[in-house]
Amino acid sequence: MDTGPAIAIRNLVKRYAGFKGGVGKLALDDVSFEVPQGRIFGLLGPNGAGKSTLINILAGMVDKTSGSAEIWGFDIDRDRRNAKAAIGIVPQEIVFDPFFTPAEVLEIQAGLYGVPKALRRTMALLREVHLADKAEAYARTLSGGMKRRLLIAKAMVHSPPVLVLDEPTAGVDVELRQQLWELVRRLNGEGVTVVLTTHYLEEAEELCDRIAIINHGRLIANEATRTLVEMAREKVVVLTLDRDLAEPPQHPAFVKSERTAERTVEITYDTDRMNAGEVLALLQAQGYAIADVVTREPDLEDVFLHLTSAPREVA
């Protein structure tokens, strides 16, 4: 496969079984998107959005309710073996047998994937994740950061073209986060397509070429990172003015100006170009007196609100 998507997800639905066979949680609600080859793709969403459910379906650890998924052109139902060979998955939870050494962990995993002894890359992989000197240490003696790096090596034993990391940096310190980002970039530089889930907008922004956002099991965006970040740069100031307005005040520097009540306007501005004080000054220069002001910090929630209130084309 040269040009097709690394992963294609079509109309994926997951409803978990409910208590005593009742109707359970709809964790994925008709999700469709494609991950292009060769990139770092981010699947972003708050806790409970359905990210791990989606990854676990790709991993064959959770059964989907309906829809389909292809990995490297292989359907996960019809061509399970090839689909599995094409993907390496780093799960959200760290689980190791504490009495295995990193070298053993990789050898056992290679065995599970049927990698012949002659083709195993145990030491090369350990070097790649900077664990060569820990090859014979017990897993329980490794630091949290070392364990995470070992998990990445473990996911790569069968040299899959696609590597998926489920929340690689949730709860890790800044230094380790930087280390993991560097490792992800290096693997991607070597040609590996990377998919990572995160609930940190900043991480997706830093690392990913493209970002899909899921919220309550629904895909609400699938955009080039730059496009998405520009949305987050827009901030809203909500103003109550001293008199009724026929028209919202306008200025070329405003991204958007909307009258939301008789005396209330919401002005969207680009935080790269101006601040809330300058918005107020422009209005005062036009003769408006301002009775009240509320601003919001841009965050993931804002991007969500923006996206859910103005539905966008999703690929």
Q: Residue 16's binding partner, choosing from ligand ADP, Mg ion, none, with beta-carbon cut-off 5 to 8 A by kind?
A: ligand ADP
Q: Closest distance between ligand ADP and the C-beta of residue 89, in Å? A: 13
Using the minimum distance from each CB to ligand ADP, give the nearer residue, 27 or 71: 27
Q: Closest distance between ligand ADP and the C-beta of residue 312, in Å? A: 21
Q: Residue 177's binding partner, choosing from ligand ADP, Mg ion, none, with beta-carbon cut-off 5 to 8 A by kind?
A: none
Distance CA 29, CA 69 (A): 14
Q: Closest distance between ligand ADP and the C-beta of residue 223, in Å? A: 19
Using the minimum distance from each CB to ligand ADP, give the nearer residue, 45 or 249: 45
The correct pick among 7, 41, 44, 52 for binding ligand ADP (CB under 6 A) is 52
- Per CB under 6 A, does 165 bind ligand ADP? no
Strand order in the sheet with 234-241: 256-259, 264-270, 234-241, 290-295
Q: Residue 49's binding partner, choosing from ligand ADP, Mg ion, none, with beta-carbon cut-off 5 to 8 A by kind?
A: ligand ADP
Compute the residue count for the chain: 315
- Per CB under 5 A, does 215 bind Mg ion? no
Using the minimum distance from each CB to ligand ADP, give the nearer residue, 105 or 165: 165
Q: Closest distance between ligand ADP and the C-beta of residue 20, in Å? A: 13
The correct pick among 1, 4, 10, 16 for binding ligand ADP (CB under 6 A) is 16
Using the minimum distance from each CB to Mg ion, give the nearer residue, 131 or 212: 212
- Per CB under 5 A, does 52 bind Mg ion? yes
Q: Closest distance between Mg ion and the C-beta of residue 92, in Å? A: 5
| Site size toward ligand ADP, by CB under 6 A | 12
The correct pick among 38, 48, 161, 248 for binding ligand ADP (CB under 6 A) is 48
- Per CB under 6 A, does 122 bind ligand ADP? no
The CA radius of gyration of the chain, in Å to the nearest whole number, is 24
Residues 247-306 interacting with ligand ADP (rule: CB under 6 A): none
Taking CA atoms, 116 is separated from 18, 27, 113, 119, 138, in Å, by 43, 38, 9, 5, 24
Q: Residue 47's binding partner, choosing from ligand ADP, Mg ion, none, with beta-carbon cut-off 5 to 8 A by kind?
A: ligand ADP
- Per CB under 5 A, does 169 bind Mg ion? no
The correct pick among 50, 88, 102, 298 for binding ligand ADP (CB under 6 A) is 50
> Contact positions toward ligand ADP, by CB under 6 A?
16, 24-25, 27, 45, 47-53
